[in-house]
Amino acid sequence: MAKIPIFSVGIMLLHCWAAMTGAEYLKYKDPKQPLNNRIKDLMNRMTLEEKIGQMTQIDRKVASAEVMNKYYIGSVLSGGGSVPRAQASAKDWIHMVNDFQKGALSTRLGIPMIYGIDAVHGHNNVYKATIFPHNVGLGATRDPKLVRKIGEATALEVRATGIQYVFAPCIAVCRDPRWGRCYESYSEDHKVVQAMTEIIPGLQGDIPPNSRKGVPFVAGKKKVAACAKHYVGDGGTTKGINENNTVISRHGLLSIHVPAYYNSIIKGVSTIMISYSSWNGQKMHANHNLITDFLKNTLRFRGFVISDWQGIDRITTPSHANYTYSIYAGITAGIDMIMVPYNYTEFIDGLTSQVKNNLIPMSRIDDAVKRILRVKFIMGLFENPLADYSLVKQLGSKKHRKLARKAVRKSLVLLKNGEDADQPLLPLPKKASKILVAGSHADNLGYQCGGWTIEWQGLETNNLTKGTTILSAIKNTVDKDTEVVYKENPDLDYVKSNGFSYAIVVVGEKPYAETNGDSMNLTISEPGPDTIMNVCGGVKCVAVIISGRPVVIQPYLHLIDALVAAWLPGSEGHGVTDVLFGDYGFRGKLPRTWFKTVDQLPMNVGDSHYDPLFPFGFGLETKPPKAN
């Protein structure tokens, strides 16, 4: 054997030393290291460009592996209806998310990105996902354990598509049903909203024992990071106008709109989204006192704060009028991640310039990035950045649809049942010679699901996703010898002359989201009122109202024998027939006051002028032949 020159030995020793220091160099990737050590180690290695990249969230429409790599992008999202392709499968989603992730991992430091989506009533952007009732219906159940299970199911379906972050729950306290987002609120009563924050441990998992208050927690690959929104006061705007001004004292804000955030933070919520709305004239996206001083310093929230979609743009009127100022105001207020979502180079260049020119201190950037990295480390993204196909069968599973059906039947509120208690109409007999089903909402899955379903504004169709309409559920529930006649809007003569045993009328609101849902009149969509009058004027009828909030019903109430508030039940129409036909009893309680006229609004329980058609908490009960 030839002798090894001393020079070669030196080179070998140098390589060994390099390998040893290389292991030290990757300390932040070692899951055995304490969390703060990992954050500190990674922060010390990051350039300003890499830090600002982490603070940037872009929509998938402008994302690519190349963009992720070049700009060190920290997060990608799907806006409402932003999907890989129409009717995309779980595997299509995984392939897309992983492609973006590989771009992020190919950067110098390999910091994984986090992908966010609006899973606000199930994984609602995704074809064939289970669509649960919207929050207003879940508020009617008064069942936090059920809501927790819905969180668990939603987390599995979201992870089935490779996504790790949901912009939910909405913990707004809707104080005026004229607001187009009222169905995203569990109740007008903050105590009900507080109870429903139990969805957060459903989504994220239970925080470990003795965990520090305010530190986020996500329990591994079957859970997702949650987002409490919209901080704060979004449900209290004047006349319910979306994104408008909430005029209330600090005491009122803290006692009505803030309490659910206490619960969310205690339960380890990972992120909090800022509201478009203003408080006493000041835009929330620019409110340093409430974001930094109160949320971060007083409430000790340790996750990251995210803007809403183009939220900093709207600090100015018109939107984006002075983007330089918007960047400054939003970042210095304490927002950590900006949902840009398209013009990311404008945001990155603008923020970089302000930091380099000492307009925004480096300490503010470091605070933001530490918080973002904390969530990514805690949820295990560094160890498991890429999604696999192990959960794809969870999407729209039978188990989850069964849970959604249960949620529907528990959410229904019986407001009237016959003229007196001795002669109730419900439950309906399954065996009848001929029954009439009428109304625009009886055979329309899109109406049943409402906004935030496949598309941002929802859809008016039956083929938007997989589910069961109320008409289909009726046909599958009644006796095989019962003739079911469906006529969307029959006239009075038709109803009177066809010998129907009874009728089920299903009417309500058409789908909407956000500002498009703002309404000053809160009327049932045409021809709903005519359908009620024609059908209920000619035969015994139950009216089922599909809506995101109380609507004007008093003018027709004398004609209606039984009245059911079904809210926006989602994909499982059988939950409605479960209680209509008595397999289960009605148990739901109004999460909102049902007004007589819109002139009374805003009107909430406890108000001096409280004079409702049906009060908050009202709900008749029926006894099923078998236990619920």
Structural domain contains residue 145:
yes
HSE toward the beta carbon, residue 518, CA cutoff 13 A: 12
Whether 161 and 263 map to the same domain: the answer is yes
Whether this model's pTM surpasses 0.85: yes
The answer to whether 440 and 434 have CB atoms below 8 angstroms apart is: no
pLDDT score recorded for residue 263: 98
Same domain, 375 and 419: no
Q: Are residues 252 and 138 part of one domain?
A: yes
Cα(329)–Cα(364) distance, integer angstroms: 12
State the chain's maximal CA–CA distance in angstroms: 111
The CATH number of whichever domain residue 144 belongs to comes to: 3.20.20.300
**Residue 58 per-residue DSSP state:** E
Closest CA to 505 of 434, 456, 564, 430: 564
CB under 8 Å to 257, separation ≥6 — which residues? Answer: 172, 173, 190, 232, 233, 234, 235, 236, 246, 248
* Chain Cα centroid distance, residue 219: 20
Note whether residue 625 is domain-resident. Answer: no
Q: Do 89 and 147 fall into the same domain?
A: yes
**Which CATH number characterizes residue 463's domain?**
3.40.50.1700
Residue 138, in any domain of the structure? yes
Whether 428 and 280 map to the same domain: the answer is no
48 dihedral zone (left: phi>0; alpha: psi -120 to 50; beta): alpha
Answer whether residue 22 is part of any domain.
no
Give the whole-angstrom CA distance, residue 181 versus residue 195.
Answer: 20
Residue 4 lies in a domain: no
pLDDT digits over 236-245, tens only?
999 999 999 9
Tell me if 14 is assigned to some domain: no
Q: In 321-402, at which residue ranges do the beta strands (DSSP E only) sit?
A: 338-339
Output helix, strand, coil percentages for the chain, rounded to the nearest 5. 40, 15, 50
329 within some domain: yes
Q: With a cut of 50, which residues of the chain have pLDDT below it?
A: 1-23, 627-628
Residue 281: helix, strand or coil by DSSP? coil
**First-to-last C-alpha distance (Å) of the chain:** 84
Q: Is residue 213 domain-shared with residue 341, that is, in the same domain?
A: yes
Q: Which domain holds residue 370?
A: 43-394
Q: Same structural domain for residues 306 and 214?
A: yes
* DSSP-derived pairing of the beta strands 114-117 and 75-78: parallel
User: Are residues 197 and 69 part of one domain?
Assistant: yes
- Active site amino acids: 308, 514
Question: In the chain, how many domains are there?
Answer: 2
344 and 439 share a domain?
no
Domain end point (choices 394, 429, 454): 394
Same domain, 299 and 425: no
* Residues 487 and 608 both lie in one domain: yes
Q: Taking the CB of residue 543, how many other CB atoms lie within 10 A of it?
A: 31
Q: Using N-to-C axis directions, what is the helix angle for 398-411 and 144-159, rounded to 10°?
A: 150
Same domain, 360 and 436: no
Dihedral sign computed on CA atoms, order 40, 210, 159, 133: negative
Asked, for residue 30, whether it belongs to a domain, the answer is no
